Chain A
């Protein structure tokens, strides 16, 4: 007689929550970890992830085309939506080429928030480029570091060359409700896209 303890979860028959996620991208120091920390229920955690960087498409002086594997830090936090749904926020560096890890990261994501620092706009180009090509609905959020913008939002849109359909918002990564509103912009954008696709 096999008396092995069962393989049932310890939760007493209750299933673990359904995980959903939003990806937060942008260059180094743009406020990703700050944004995650402002709204996450847990202090942001950091883990290491491998990224296969393919540099062949990038024309940078001194940059050797080819493929290298680097380890990047992935900062994340979470928010309990209700008893059965848990939202994860994954913040990841966005100024390098993306490899398989990025595919893993965005599959099934409810959308992405690309955080922009207007003093270093080009840091976010690869992220914008990636999400456009991968068909991930995204919103561009300008982080107001000093409570003011160096550029008009229309200038930012023009400089990033994103279409009018991509929502552009301003927010303050240090303020919880401001981060919440930026995430809501991501979700509403995804919702609108999903609805128009369903209706088409």
Chain B
């Protein structure tokens, strides 16, 4: 067991509590408009998760953005990003991230124009 020795080493740096002690974020650059949907595994195992993690997996049975998750659960958007990244790494949710080249994507821009023009 190396646990106790490790614990002594971290006394000066308290890990972020909500991320369950993990101090190196998986990927907290997830865009706030990224789409999140729960996986079959997430649905099966979410009762075992705690607090916000469980809430996120439960909420994302319907696809929604990171921003919507933060607003619905009334958590800081930065916290939502970290938790979603964690859950994705565990296979509990699947993320669809935006394409950062979209502003140069003429076909996509035209598509959005057509979609907006259809609004009456």
Instruction: Give the B-binding residues of A (Cβ under 8 A).
Output: 4-11, 15-21, 39, 45-50, 71, 74, 76, 78-82, 85-88, 90, 104-105, 107-111, 136-137, 176-177, 180, 183-184, 187-188, 190-191, 194-195, 197-198
Given contacts A19-B96, A47-B70, A194-B106, contact A74 B77 (CB under 8 A): yes
- Report chain B residues within 8 Å CB of A110: 102-103, 109, 112
Cα distance A4–B63 in the bound complex, in angstroms: 22
Give the contacting residue for B94; candidates A5, A8, A82, A107; CB below 8 A. Answer: A8
Within 8 A of A (CB), among B21-76: 29, 31-45, 61, 63, 65, 67-68, 70-72, 76
Given contacts A110-B112, A111-B103, contact A5 B45 (CB under 8 A): yes
Q: How many residues of B contact A (CB 8 A)?
A: 53
Cα distance A85–B118 in the bound complex, in angstroms: 14
Give the contacting residue for B39; candidates A9, A21, A76, A194; CB below 8 A. Answer: A9
Within 8 A of A (CB), among B71-120: 71-72, 76-78, 80, 91-92, 94, 96, 98-106, 108-117, 119-120
The smallest beta-carbon distance between A72 and chain B, in angstroms, is 10
CB pair B115 A85 closer than 8 Å:
yes
- Report chain A residues within 8 Å CB of B110: 191
